Structure 1
Amino acid sequence: MTHPLLFSRADGIATLQFNRPAQLNALDVPTAQALLAAVQEIAADRSVRAVLLKGAGRAFVAGGDLATLQANPVQGAQDLLEPLNAAVTLLHGLDAPVIAQVHGAAAGAGLSLMLMCDFVLAAEGTKFNLAYINLGTSCDVGASWALPRLVGLRQALEIALLGEGFDAAEALRLGLINRVLPAAELDAAAQALAQRIASGPTVAYGQMRRLLRDSLTRDLPAQLQAEAQAFLACAKTPDFSEGVAAFLAKRPAQFAG
């Protein structure tokens, strides 16, 4: 039996590849459970300094597997969402930044997963659609949290309520992705970015990603206090000492993560 999620770790990079290519990597319950199990391992492994999400075959993730929901919509949705939400919560709390390598299609829950990542590299020709409204349902897996933060409320409402598809150029214009690349260059570019992130100051990355995300729920005095606490936490790390020493010596820093 083919495993629905391929999980590997090497050189500080954890790679998670959705592996249901015949179904365009649509998320069913076994895939969601495998994702949660892998992310639990990542969260417990301090050697992981970057996480890369990708899809096998012709697409990143084309949404949830509707066959999972057809027989028993309520129980099927609950069985699917519980592990997916737990996995996203763990990914959100990591120090290690999360990169999405997207091609083919990112729709529904696939787009939601992508939105929750820190970096998104997309191949030319990729199609995007939040799609939930076309099925008569609201969104899940964090889309309603991430989307207005990325594009603003007005644009988020249009994307969510109209359910219209858009291409990679529009996704880049909207700020949903970081780069658009030729398909032949996508894998190498994603690996290069993951390697760059994995060689960086992991604790500082974690503090920075939390500061930026939480800033939208704090007033300025509270944010200044959070910044000071985060800076002091980073100042205790060997990576900060190395960064300062490297700067003063005019040499590249060698961060240990």
Structure 2
Amino acid sequence: MVSERRELQSITVERNDAIVTITLRRPQKKNAANDAMWSELLDEFRSIPNDASVRAVVLTGAGGNFCSGADLSAEERDERPHQLSVMRHIGDVCLALHRLPQPTIAKVRGVAVGAGMNLALSCDLIAASEDARFSEIFAKRGLSLDFGGSWLLPRLIGLHRAKELALLADIIDARRAAELGLVNRVLPDDELDACVDDWATRLAGGPPIALAMSKRMLNNAFNVTLEQAIDDEGLSQTVNFGTTDTPEAIAAFVEKREPEFHGR
């Protein structure tokens, strides 16, 4: 069993077997992301794809909140380079998260607003506690969408609902987020950890190459034609049949047992 815990300046990284959990850790600021947090997240998101033994990633927050967005306090802004450089750096974090081949889960308690909301939406699955609150709060701060929100929202909920969230910047509760299709599950707080643990365990036990290719194709779905999608499916299945995982899955089905996938 692989077990590891690293406490960095603004995040904690825990490894349990094939599952990595990244916890945003600035509870005194509701986990608002400062430059140190963005840099630490970028390093983790860029290193994880190089470790084939990592099968699933969970992203969550400390102290009862997910993330209150970027830290806009004066002391943070005073220490920063030109704003365009800052935004390019934050954009790199967003892209690195989207490019993770491993399935990702956002476990959301409390607030997930602004870049914090879009950080959650950038994950493949979202489980939220009943007390979770979401908002594209940018307009109330005199800002426009960032961390991929302008790309994510229309794809997730359609253009007009995306505009409603972005332009009015209302705070919505977890139930409303689920109704809109932003959240996969809403659970009582005492059931949230068990749900995410179950999902992460199931994903970690799945065929990593096949899951990564399905994730990539789904992420590209709105950017390709049906003909291109079918070609991608054919190429992906050809790759799958060249691995040991597909024969193992077929053998396990015939033998009425659970398959053991190795990602090779």
Specify the TM-score bucket, using the shorter chain as the normaliser.
Answer: over 0.9
Q: Distance in 1 between matches of 2:145 and 2:218?
A: 23
Deviation string 1:134-188 (CA, Å, 9 cap, x unpaired) is: 1111111111111111101111111111101100000000110100111112122
Q: Does the CA contact (< 8 Å) of 2:49 and 2:101 recur in 1?
A: no
The alignment partner of 2:73 has SS state of: helix
Aligned match of 1:78: 85
Match of 2:30 in 1: 24
Asked if 1:246 is matched to 2:246, the reply is no
TM-score (norm 2): 0.91
Give the alignment partner of residue 219 of structure 2, picking from 209, 213, 217. Answer: 213
**What whole-Å deviation, never above 9, does each CA across 1:22-59 have from its counterpart, x for those lacking one?**
00000000010111112222122111100000000021
How many Å separate the matches in 2 of 1:237 and 1:2? 37
Q: How many pairs are equivalent?
A: 256
Identity fraction in percent: 38
- 57-66 or 84-93, which moves further after superposition? 84-93
Q: Highest relative contact order (Cα 8 Å, sep 6+), 1 or 2?
A: 1
Paired residue for 1:120? 126
Q: 1:251 to 1:2 in 2, by over 3 A?
A: closer
Whether 1:132 aligns to 2:138 is yes
Q: CA deviation at 1:190?
A: 1.1
**Mapped contact 1:107–1:130 kept (Cα < 8 A):** yes
Aligned match of 1:158: 164
Runs of 4+ deviating beyond 6 Å? none
Deviations 1:56-85 (A, max 9, x none): 002100111011664488725633x33432
How far the C-alpha of 1:2 sits from its partner, in A, is 7.0
User: In 2, Cα distance between the equivalents of 1:107 and 1:94?
Assistant: 22
Q: Which residue does the alignment assign to 2:73? A: 67
| CA–CA distance in structure 2, aligned partners of residues 2 and 86 of structure 1 | 20
Amino acid at match of 1:25: N
Change (3 A) 1:37 1:229: same
Letter of the structure 2 residue corresponding to residue 66 of structure 1: L
d(CA) in 2 for partners of 1:142 and 1:3? 25
Unaligned runs of 5+ in 1: none
Evaluate the alpha carbon distance shift between residue 237 and residue 119 of structure 1 in structure 2; reply closer, same or farther with a 3 A threshold.
Answer: same
CA distance in 2, matches of 1:6, 1:82: 24
- What is the DSSP-based 3-state SS (H/G/I as helix, E as strand, rest coil) of the residue aligned with 1:64? coil
Structure 2 CA distance for aligned equivalents of residues 75 and 57 of structure 1: 31
Structure 2: gaps (5+ residues): 1-6
Please, which of 41, 53, 65 is the counterpart of residue 35 of structure 1? 41
The aligned amino acid for 2:20 is A
Partner in structure 2 of residue 222 of structure 1:
228
Residue 102 of structure 2 corresponds to which residue in structure 1? 96
Q: Offset at 1:19?
A: 0.3
